[in-house]
Amino acid sequence: MGSSRMKKIVVFLAGTGLAIGCRSPGRSVETLAPPTTRPVEVLQKPVLDLTRSGVGFPLDTDLLPSSVSELKSLLQEAYKTRLGTDASVNVVVQGSEVHDLDRLEIDLSGQRINGSWLSRPPEDNRNKVSGMSFARVSELSYIADPLIYTGYSASMILQATDARLALIPGPQRNLSLVMYDCASGRAQIRIGLDDLEQGLVAWLRARGGWGAQVRSIGIRLNSESPYNLSGDLRVELMILGLPAAFQLVGRVDVDAGSNLHFTGLNAWGQNPAGTLVAAFVQTRLDRLNNKAAPFFKLPGDRVRVTDLILRLDQDLTIDVSFRGTVTEREKHEF
């Protein structure tokens, strides 16, 4: 958890209709009108599909941990592989036995991610959870406040009570722990607006199709309430030696079901090559316009968002409350 998950989050924050183009000094944009109709459809695909990759606590072994101390050691070594051998990885594992833990806390705050881990292809974990339950954790915490990437940083804090963890095999059958259920929990995602721009630049450069080079990018955001966000995203590229500038605008509202309702998603070019790119982007935006989507989805599909708050100042902060299927009676059963 951390590297590809935060990468997905940065791309979501920058790309859900929250504009592209030349870097602009302002930080506000005229707010688009709120939606006047209900979304015509609630999509099955979430904004952040965390069933595919970047959702696990890596163990980097194909052998099941047999003790609390072994689990702690495996987690520390796996994260040092991703962060560097000199990284300060704080892992707390408490409990009488490895399948019934009182506390699991992983704190990566202030550490720098190894860039080579960001380019690994995603895996599909959607169908790997069933029948692989490994542990119950009374108090689960993941803290990256912040995690540092090349050129930008972002923060994520996740806490859950009575979490259920499953073991999922990855490449070369290396195992990772994933949370697939819990009683309740909350998460906070925070990124500075400058870091948001730089994160999107890094993502575009990593994709690098059509011989594209990023020349400049700018994001302007506005929020009327904790339940909506409007934006203007402006991008200037060089594609096959031609300048391509385009702009994208849109609005997202949190609906009564804590889904994200997208409206006013439009793209247009500011020069001939940019017009071609904008036309391609618009076909993607039309799939979302006046539709809603869940914010995230975890393996097992048992965890649901119960509240979603968007806060905008010098940072963009998303506060998420969620609940699983673990009942009061089941809290100490496993």
Terminal-residue alpha carbon distance, the chain: 24
On whether the CB atoms of residues 228 and 253 are closer than 8 A, the answer is yes
- Helix axis angle for 193-207 and 3-15, nearest 10°, is 100
Average pLDDT of the segment spanning 12-35: 48
Average pLDDT of the segment spanning 128-135: 67
SS3 67: coil
Q: Which two tokens stand for residue 235?
A: 């991008």
Average pLDDT of the segment spanning 124-152: 81
CB neighbours of residue 247 within 10 Å:
20
**pLDDT of amino acid 133:** 86
Q: Which two tokens stand for residue 110?
A: 């202030």
Q: How many residues does the chain have?
A: 334
| Rounded Cα gap, residues 244 and 209, in angstroms | 14
| Rounded Cα gap, residues 248 and 187, in angstroms | 28
pLDDT category of residue 85 using cuts at 50, 70 and 90 = confident
- Average pLDDT, rounded, for the chain: 84
On whether the CB atoms of residues 288 and 314 are closer than 8 A, the answer is no
On whether the CB atoms of residues 61 and 312 are closer than 8 A, the answer is no
Q: Which two tokens stand for residue 107?
A: 């704190």
Task: For 246-281, write each residue's pLDDT tens digit.
Answer: 999 999 999 999 999 999 999 999 999 999 999 999
On whether the CB atoms of residues 54 and 5 are closer than 8 A, the answer is yes
Residue 150 CA to its chain's centroid (Å): 17
Q: Is 323 exposed, middle or buried (0-12, 13-18, 19+ CB in 10 A)?
A: middle
Which position has the token pair 């100042």? 313
| Rounded Cα gap, residues 168 and 308, in angstroms | 28
* 23: phi then psi, degrees, rounded to nearest 5: -65, 130
The sign of the CA dihedral 109, 194, 20, 255 is positive
Residue 295 pLDDT exceeds 50? yes
Average pLDDT of the segment spanning 142-167: 94
Dihedral-angle region of residue 165 (phi above 0 means left; psi in -120 to 50 means alpha; beta otherwise)? beta
| Rounded Cα gap, residues 12 and 122, in angstroms | 16
**pLDDT of amino acid 130:** 46
On whether the CB atoms of residues 267 and 247 are closer than 8 A, the answer is yes
Give me the half-sphere count of Cα atoms (radius 13 Å) on the Cβ side of residue 311. 12
Residue 298 pLDDT exceeds 90? no
